Amino acid sequence: MAERRATSAPISEREDPADRPAGLGDPAQPRRLRVLLPLPLSGAFSYSVPPGLELSPGDIVTVPLGRRDVVGVAWDSAPEEDGVPVGKLKPVVARLDLPPLPDAHRRFIDWVAGYSLAPPGAVLRMSLSSPGALTPPKPVRRVLHSGRPPLDCLKLTPARRRALAAAEDGFARSQAELARTAGVGVGVVKGLIEAGALDEVEIVPRLGIGEPNWQHQGPALSPDQASAAADLRAKVDSGFSVTLLDGVTGSGKTEVYFEAVAAALAAQRQVLVLLPEIALSAQWLERFAARFGTPPVAWHSDLKSSARQLTWRAVADGRARVVVGARSALFLPYPELGLIVVDEEHEAAFKQEDGVIYHARDMAVVRAHLGDFPIVLASATPSLESLVNVQTDKYSELRLPNRHGGAELPQVELIDLRRDPPRRDPEIGTSWLSPPLLQALEETLQSGAQALLYLNRRGYAPLTLCRACGHRFECPSCSAWLVEHRFLGRLVCHHCGYGMRVPEACPACGEVEALTPIGPGVERLAEEVSARFPAARTQIMSSDSLQGPADAAELIRRIQAHELDIVIGTQLAAKGHHFPLLTLVGVIDADLGLKGGDLRAGERTYHLLHQVAGRAGRAERPGRVLIQTYDPDHPVMQALVEGDRDRFLALEAEQRQIGGWPPFGRLAALILSAPDPDVVDQAARLVARSAPTLPGLRVLGPAEAPLAVLRGRHRRRFLIKARRDLPLQRLLRRWLTGLDLPNSVRLATDIDPYSFW
Ligand code: ADP
Ligand code: ZN
């Protein structure tokens, strides 16, 4: 199948080739054409199509722009009345030999641009995210076994024999690769080429892709799982639908949606699986490979540019049948997309916060709608947005209420830090572990099981203070404290990356040895754990301790192989991993995420703590979760103890409904920023003066952003709250276009904001 697809132009989504708009008008006359360029500030431009050039919408072309030729996409035929006579338009230079952007994909780009108020060119740029993908890959030289004996003059030394033996498998390798495989010098390989025993050939590189085998059997499903799987399978190839797959952690959601993946593959459709954090997905990739006999095609920001290029092409020409990726994978040009799965759909990581600001889950639903195929949203803790869509019958729902194999959900207990505070130990110093948690740790280690201590704070301490003069270390270009990273010996800004060495003396008063860390981060917690449990094998799991997917996979392997006893993790450790020996989860500071004025603080804290609690007792051994809090009566804590998610979310929903907050009302944020605080204030006043006034719309602000300075730019925020039935984008566009802001002022629009700093 791969071969057939690679050579023929793919059919754009379910369209009959005969239905594709033929060329644009009479080929004997120059015609007008709008071409969208992948430029951050642009809409489509008009060009003329010279006679003889056959172009259809979606074709990838080169056009002149200024003095350069740039790549763009034929968008639509331009209306006559756009001013410039066709004879005056610059002509399209050429059509590139690439599959056209599918129709549904172009409509998707326009839709996202319209919704997010981003220029269409900026959205197109995400789709052509690999500039090199558009130029044909350069042929490379490879060596192959020639099948002929070497010329007589060449003596078959052991090294030469090894090189020939290594080439016997028929794979084409570079000279260096073959030499490395055989453990010989490159000179040996060169000698064999000269003697005719190896052939040198030029080949065009392609992504090596296995064909997922949908006929491969999955595990026998439980009755619940089987009926959910049957429902999803029936939805494949039956038009647009959204299904929320709501099942407790460990209930087999992945096994169930794999059935839908198999059905889509059987129907000759491409599949996209979006995961919040592809770097942490080694276990998922392994499971996929076990189920379908080959790994999926992965798309993420760590791909090297050559791999990006090959992957983009493999998606565009339809060879890549299953793509797994983070949010940006949504913008690849799938010609035959027929199913999207968004796993952990509640995750905030799906929200892209800079450039084109969008929520990948919500845009994925739009993509499925435009492509007329099903989408599955999976979570153990669905977002309020999705649950409300189920209640209003926009989405259908499948529930998996039980863990697979009867594993019990862990028992959750609160530790009231007002009653049971951690005790300072003369040897160890300040402590973050309360007596009940310490005791539970002790018991867990004695029983030969593992524990996870969860603290969502990187580094050693979030604040460093001078005991002599009270000086606090602050980032010079952000309004944020510097976080000590003791392992690196540095104070670091988590917002802009600024860092400095931890000084010997206070820079304000000169006092030596007076700098004191305030509060814990994972490094400081690890220090205490190592001091108290010196025999336990302890390891930190945070984005600082893991440099990439390979590191993460190795750490997960070590935990599973019981090479570690205590893992101290940030939210990286909370995500879908399966650790059979992990029976205790201790949450160090459950109140951390509840501070600040975030609309979703309660919901998000609930999600995170529920997810991290779900790491405990995934196999035969029952799990226990201890949550340290100063606020045990908080509805989030009560919901966790009672395991009553639905009541908590109902309460949360009720409050949002009363206040008109999302998902019951609509929200947008405007963020103005400039290096000069006076300039940004002036600009904010200008924006405020032209704000629309109408019933059902409230403009809050301008206000200094909670993070008032970021990377040297002063920030002011507006929040726009609108009734659901108001055309929010149209109102914003009318308000914001034509505003005469100074060049130094940036204005970012965030529709459906998730972050409020
Ligand atoms: P979820 O995605 O809901 O957290 P998973 O699909 O990861 O759940 O399933 C949890 C564990 O149970 C996995 O190790 C999975 O392989 C196993 N599992 C789930 N369903 C079955 C089944 N029907 N047969 C065998 N193993 C299963
Ligand atoms: Zn900073």
Which helix (H) or strand (E) segment is 258 a member of? helix 253-266
Cβ-contact 478, 502 below 8 angstroms: no
Residue 585 has pLDDT above 90, yes or no: yes
Residue 543 tokens, joined = 């984005």
Instruction: State the ligand closest to the CA atom of 482.
Output: 2
Which pLDDT tens digit goes with each residue over 552-569?
A: 889 989 999 999 999 999
> What is the bridge-based pairing of β-strands 270-274 and 140-145?
unpaired
Look at residue 710 and tell me whether its pLDDT is greater than 70. yes
Distance in angstroms (rounded) separating the CA atoms of residues 365 and 388: 15
Using DSSP's 3-state secondary structure scheme, residue 256 falls into: helix
Confidence of residue 10 (pLDDT cuts 50, 70, 90): very low
Judge if the beta carbon of residue 614 lies within 6 A of ligand 1.
no
Q: Cβ–Cβ contacts within 10 Å for residue 502, how many? A: 17
Q: What's the Cα-to-Cα distance from 658 to each of 301, 651, 655, 698, rounded to whole Å? A: 40, 11, 5, 15
The pick from 217, 249, 404 for probing ligand 1's pocket by mutation, whose C-beta has the most ligand atoms within 8 angstroms, reads: 404
Q: Which of 78-92, 499-513, 678-692, 693-707 has the lowest mean pLDDT?
A: 78-92
- 3-128 folds as GIY-YIG endonuclease (3.40.1440)
Q: Are the C-beta atoms of 512 and 746 separated by less than 8 Å?
A: no
- Residue 106: the pLDDT is 96
**Residue 354, burial from CB neighbour count under 10 angstroms (0-12, 13-18, 19+):** exposed
**CATH code of domain 411-457+521-653:** 3.40.50.300
pLDDT, residue 1, reads 32
Per-residue pLDDT reduced to its tens digit, 255-296: 999 999 999 999 999 999 999 987 778 888 989 999 999 999
Instruction: Report pLDDT for 456.
Output: 93
How confident is the model at residue 458, as a pLDDT?
Answer: 94
Tell me the CA–centroid distance for residue 339 and ligand 2, in Å: 41
Top CATH class of 666-751 equals alpha beta
Q: Where are the domains of the chain?
A: 3-128, 140-203, 223-398, 411-457+521-653, 459-519, 666-751
Q: What percent of the chain is modeled with pLDDT above 70?
A: 93
Instruction: Give residue-wise pLDDT tens across range 97-130.
Output: 889 999 999 999 999 999 999 999 999 999 986 6
**Long-range CB contact pairs, 110-113, < 8 A, 24+:** 111/366, 111/370, 112/356, 112/358, 112/363, 112/366, 113/356
Instruction: Report the pLDDT averaged over residues 706-725.
Output: 95
Burial of 436 (0-12, 13-18, 19+ CB in 10 A): middle
The predicted model gives 675-683 an average pLDDT of: 97
Residue 152's pLDDT band (cuts 50, 70, 90):
low
Secondary structure (DSSP) of 74-105: EEEPPPTTSSS-GGGSPBP-EE-SSPPPPHHH
Beta strands (DSSP E) in 208-250 are 241-247
- Out of 60-69, 131-140, 634-643, least confident range: 131-140
Q: What is the pLDDT of residue 301?
A: 79
**Centroid of ligand 1 to alpha carbon of 432 (angstroms):** 35
Q: Exposed, middle or buried by CB within 10 Å (0-12, 13-18, 19+), for 179?
A: buried
Cβ(253) – ligand 1 distance below 6 Å: yes
Q: Which helix (H) or strand (E) holds 674?
A: strand 665-674
Q: Which two tokens stand for residue 283?
A: 């276990």
Same fold for the domain at 3-128 and the one at 666-751? no
What is the structure's pLDDT at 2?
33
Indicate which residue's Cα is closest to atom 4 of ligand 1: 250
* pLDDT tens digits, 335-353: 999 999 999 999 989 999 9
pLDDT value at 7 more than 60: no
Q: How far apart are CA 197 and CA 193, in angstroms?
A: 6
Question: For the chain, what is the mean pLDDT?
Answer: 89
Whether pLDDT at 593 is above 90: no
Greater confidence (427 vs 260) lies with 260
Distance (Å) from CA 710 to ligand 2 centroid:
6
Fold of 223-398: Rossmann fold (3.40.50)
- Residue of 254, 256, 381, 400 to mutate, ligand 1, most atoms within 8 A of C-beta: 254
pLDDT tens readout for residues 216-228 = 888 999 999 999 9
Residue 404 Cβ < 6 Å to ligand 1: yes
354-387 pLDDT per residue, tens? 889 999 999 999 999 999 999 999 999 999 999 9
Under the banding of pLDDT at 50, 70 and 90, the label for residue 138 is confident
Is pTM, for the whole model, over 0.95?
no
